[in-house]
Amino acid sequence: MFSSATPFKNQQYPELKKDCINDKTLFEDPEFPASNTSLYFKKPPPGYVEWKRPGEISNDPHLFVEGISSHDLNQGVVGNCWFVAACSCLALKPHLWKQVIPDHKGQEWDPKHPESYSGIFHFQFWVFGEWVDVVVDDRLPTINGELIYCHSKDNNEFWSALLEKAYAKLSGCYESLEGGNTGDAVVDFSGAVAEAIDLETGAYYKDQEKQDQLFEDLLKVYDRGGIISCSIKAQPHEIEARMANGLVKGHAYSVTAVKKVRLGHGLLAYFKNETIPLIRMRNPWGQTEWKGAWSDSSVEWSKIGDTERGNLGITVEDDGEFWMSFTDWCKFFTEADACRLINTSVFSVHKQWHEVVHYGSWTKNAEPLLNRCGGCANHKPTFLQNPQFLFDVTKEVDEVLIALQQKDLKSHRKYGQGENLSIGFIVLRVELNRKYRMHDILTQQVVETSTYINARAVFMRSTLPKGRYIIIPTTFKPYELGDYMIRVFTDVDSGCRELTEDKPRVRCWSSFVGYPQALTHVYVHGAEGLQNQDNTGGADPYVIIYCEGKSVRSTIKTDTLQPEFTTSGIFYRKKPRKPITVEVWNSNAVKDEFMGQVVLSGSVKDPDGPQRLQLRKGGRHMADEMPGNITLRIVTSTQLTAM
């Protein structure tokens, strides 16, 4: 079976394999030759390198020996523990590794048909939003006859070494894999969304409530097929330094299980139903384990019944895999990546997300309004020149996931480049009827700001109320150029789209029907003094803003006499002297009841702050009504426009 993945370097695996079989030759990859250029650009391996095919390393080579396992892998001389940790996680997920290693049975050595062996393999990676098929030959770098990079514990198993070679080809060379992020590799294996968790800054170890919530979040990620990894921050001189407790600094670990483990023995354990949160990890070295509580031979395991221990698969050997209490994990590890496989399929029992993906670039233009590289919000003169993406939350409250990813540049490291830009984004709540780009911001519009970091991707989860929002993805500094992909996940379709126009277009009939002369923002922040409208002692008010035949309506605030509307509208006005009307209504099952209105003049002057305006009660258009005791807090801002 061969998927529709895009062939890397336009190398078509079926055609290349067929040609080799017909010519009775073994494949030699011209795009990734068996030479030093494929090994390094600065730091050569520690010895004389010979490229050998698996049949020259072992008498009985296989892609897999007794299946695929997280215990198969061991790290080599290149500092890519992050990649090996990701491979260990991958091995636990059959639905993922079968995508990364397509047609794995067809790629296996077949001793009954040696003529079908052609020395060619292919692997697939999720690269910037699409699956890419990477072809490699099976010549692997060795020193003294042994593999020098990633290898399996069985010397006749080669899936990990060949997978690493394909990833090195995608990245330019093996040395380009020196230093990286496990979450990035997991995303490349799956198309997942990676959330970076700063355990140190979050101080989860000291806050039991936060710790419990984090465990539940990670348990959900694990149970739904996601992948988790972790590490301990280190200074440059501390990289891969072994701590007294057995953990290694500056080293990536794969999380292989997240469990609530039942304490006690026999039936008493089930009736008592006392559990402890544990987490299991694997060191990519295949050895060197945690020595503290819940380590392989610690006394804590005496608290667990034999059946429970059997279910957990406890082994007492230095195989690199070990358990820890979740509290100790939060205490000693400083960073983690939780990679969520976001479900967008309708054929699933789990929550289904609606995904929107946009690609774009931070670009510079001689015309400032056409710039799309304005830097973060610290750079106020240029910030709003960045790309702007609008989306709607149509439920009363909805969880929104946003992932911003820049293009991977590891392949440029050999040219002295390839470092990530510092990126992030801001989320603003905007007028309900906005459809053009923003050109000014009020402080109250800012609802979320991501971290800014020189990582390949930045992720944020947020629970937002019903309304219209804008995401502004940026680099930290202005005028830094690059490509990005932004993914937005909501429960229902958010209508996420890029805003490209700055204002209404001038059309051929504009001179006849008129063109907007002023732009007015209206912000209604709340109401005071509403009277009881129902038998519960409250009301169900909502606001409507009217301007030149157009209107914006707020959500209904249920059972309150002190509503906080936070409702806004933006109006391009052809007749600025015409007033704007704000009305307050009470929602009823039979017929809504008018509660009052305020009429705003067409003044161009900006107020210093919110206006506390009283509403007229009674008939909707009775200009002679006396002011009532309902007060609205309103901000208006008007500016002239030009054709």
Cα angle at 142 between 137 and 148, to 5 degrees?
Answer: 105
80, 181, 283, 420: the active-site residue:
283
**What is the distance between the alpha carbons of residues 179 and 181, in angstroms, rounded to a whole number?**
7
Distance of CA 22 to the CA centre of its chain: 45
Q: Name, in order, each residue with C-beta under 8 angstroms of 398's C-beta and a sequence gap of 6 or more.
A: 463, 464, 466, 490, 491, 492
What would you report as the CA-atom Rg of the chain, rounded to the nearest whole angstrom?
A: 31
Contact 429, 469 (CB under 8 A): yes
Say if residues 596 and 541 touch (Cβ distance below 8 Å). no
| Cα 76 to Cα 83, 161, 186, 220, 347, distances in angstroms | 11, 10, 19, 33, 41
**Is 81 a catalytic site residue?**
yes
Sheet holding 6-7, edge to edge: 6-7, 130-137, 120-127
CA dihedral 474, 569, 355, 219 (to 10 degrees): 80
Return the exposure string of 362-376: e unless at least 16 CB atoms fall within 10 Å of the residue's CB, then b: bebeeeeeebbbbbb
Other Cβ atoms closer than 10 A to 320: 23
Question: How far is the first Cα of the chain from the last one, in angstroms, to the nearest whole number?
Answer: 59
Residue 488 token pair: 């937005």
Residues of 88-101 as b/e, b for ≥16 C-beta within 10 angstroms?
Answer: bbbbbbeebbebbb
Q: Is 547 one of the catalytic residues?
A: no
What angle, 0 to 180 degrees and rounded to 10, lies between the N-to-C axes of helices 81-91 and 182-190? Answer: 40
Beta bridge partners of 127: 130
Q: Residue 173 catalytic? A: no
Distances from the Cα of 635 to the Cαs of 238, 250, 556, 574, 606, in angstroms?
A: 55, 52, 20, 21, 9
Residue of 122, 151, 251, 521 marked active site: 251
Contact 189, 126 (CB under 8 A): yes
How wide is the angle at C-alpha 614 spanned by C-alphas 613 and 616, nearest 5°?
135
Query: C-alpha angle 95/189/191, rounded to 5°?
Result: 90
Active site residues: 81, 251, 283
